[in-house]
Amino acid sequence: MEGFSHIPVMLEECMQGLNLKEGGTYFDGTVGGGGHSYEILKRTSPDGKLIATDLDDEAIAAATDRLKEFHNRFKIFKSDYKDFENVLSDVGVKDIDGAILDFGVSSRQLDTESRGFSYMKPSAPLDMRMDATQSLKAENIVNEYSKEQLAKILREYGEEKFASEIAANIVKARTRNAITTCGELVDIIERSIPAKFKQNGPAARKSFQAIRIAVNGELNGLYDCVIGLTRKLKKGGRIVILTFHSLEDRIVKQAFRFLETDCICDKNLPVCVCGKKKEIEIITKKPITASLKELTLNTRSKCAKLRIAEKII
């Protein structure tokens, strides 16, 4: 599992943001290769506890191996982080001292051709599943969804200006033969975008992002999850969230804003009747981005935004 080793994005900023306490209990909802989890356990020694989740079997195996020196201080579940309520309940944890979510795709996932995540691997199958046991693959979406459904996915999840053109060309191409490889899809996307609009990186990047999000349901329930997970924090506990595109960041920002609001009543009412209290202090009024040094060492950090909040009630 050595191939899962990668540099965790903004590691020190995340650890400082968590304000780790010796003996605390922490939740890592996206354990990946275990980079952030390792530091949490190391810095909360000797009694700190970690509960973690991931959907990727290879990631779970790699993280379990990486964290083995911490023996009985951690437990990793194959689960969606959005199911945190059941996961924490399973280990008898009522509340936690901190939580971290890192929504980046790992280097291992991108580099493993059979996983089909990367537009840079033309012979790779159109897969993109975080959980390799689920039935829905990228190939299903590309070959079975209607032109309107495809355009909506590309537009909403990829913020792709040429969503309609790409969707129309996908539908046209698949009438001849099923689209089964990343390279075939890249070629269709390239043909759909005028040359003058291909100046800001690979033309297929946005579409691949959009299809990956759709395959894995990455944005489904994210807002409610951020609110619910934050409410699992003890007073003074911190939640740290790393996002890698504007859609995720916007949802996290909106959830934090709601939690920070003291009253949500109609402003025309003379007194508050909703009972909503300010629940968090937002530590990062603007998201933290990678330093120049990190950008040089870790290109994955280029699009990363880090938001941190502290529970105050």
pLDDT in tens, 223-266: 999 999 999 999 999 999 999 999 999 999 999 999 999 988 88
List the structure tokens of 288.
């933290």
pTM of the model: 0.93
Q: Please report how many Cα atoms fall inside a 13 Å half-sphere around the Cα of residue 124, on the Cβ side.
A: 24
Helix (H) or strand (E) holding 87: helix 84-90
Q: Please, how many CA atoms are within 13 Å of residue 128, restricted to the half-sphere of its CB? A: 26
Q: Among residues of the chain, what percentage have pLDDT more than 70?
A: 98
Examine the pLDDT at 298 and tell me if it is beyond 90: no
pLDDT at position 30 is 95
Region 12-18: what's the mean pLDDT?
A: 98
Distance CA 308, CA 287 (A): 8
Report the pLDDT value the prediction gives residue 262, as an integer from 0 to 100. 92
**Amino acid identity at 54:** D
CA distance 157 to 17: 28
Extents of the domains making up the chain? 2-103+219-311, 120-216
Segment among 3-7, 132-136, 173-177 with least mean pLDDT: 3-7
Query: May I ask the CATH class of domain 120-216?
Result: mainly alpha
Residue with tokens 């699009």: 303
2 has pLDDT over 60: no
Q: What percent of the chain has pLDDT over 90?
A: 86
Nearest to 162 by CA among 190, 185, 121: 190
Q: Band of the pLDDT at 108, cuts 50, 70, 90?
A: confident
Q: Is the pLDDT of residue 302 over 60?
A: yes
Closest listed residue to residue 235, CA positions, set 25, 129, 95, 34: 95
Say what the pLDDT of residue 5 is. Answer: 52
What are phi and psi for residue 172, nearest 5 degrees? -65, -45
**pLDDT at residue number 53:** 98
The torsion defined by the Cα of 64, 65, 71 and 72, in degrees rounded to 10, comes to: 10
| CATH superfamily name and code, 2-103+219-311 | Vaccinia Virus protein VP39 (3.40.50.150)
Taking the C-alpha atoms of residue 204 and residue 198, their distance in angstroms, rounded to an integer, is: 10
| pLDDT in the model for residue 79 | 97
The answer to whether the CB of 103 falls within 8 A of the CB of 3 is no
